[in-house]
Amino acid sequence: MAVLRGRRWKPVYTAPELDANPGSLRAIAPPPWLALSCAAMSKSPSTPATRLLREKHVPYTEHPYRYEEHGGTRVSARELGVEEHAVVKTLVMEDESGAPLIVLMHGDRQVSTKSLARQVGRKSIEPCRPDVAHRHTGYLVGGTSPLGTRKAMPVYMERSIAALERIYVNGGSRGFLVAVAPADLVRVLAPTLVDVAIEP
pLDDT tens profile 82-93: 999 999 999 999
Indicate if the pLDDT at residue 132 is higher than 50. Answer: yes
Under the banding of pLDDT at 50, 70 and 90, the label for residue 44 is confident
**What per-residue string of b and e applies to 154-164 under the rule 16 or more CB within 10 Å gives b?**
ebbbbeebeee
Residues 168-177 pLDDT 10s: 999 999 999 9
Q: Is the pLDDT of residue 126 over 50?
A: yes
96-116: pLDDT as tens digits: 999 999 999 999 999 999 999
Please answer whether residues 155 and 190 qualify as being in contact, where contact means their C-beta atoms are separated by less than 8 angstroms.
yes
Of 121, 118, 86, the C-alpha closest to 104 is 86
The yes-or-no verdict on residue 7 having pLDDT over 50 is no
pLDDT grade for 200, boundaries at 50, 70 and 90: confident
Q: Is the pLDDT confidence value at 151 over 50?
A: yes
The residues near 79 (Cβ < 8 Å, ≥ 6 apart) are 65, 66
Q: In the chain, what are the domains?
A: 48-198 (3.90.960.10)
User: Cβ distance 147 to 52 under 8 Å?
Assistant: yes
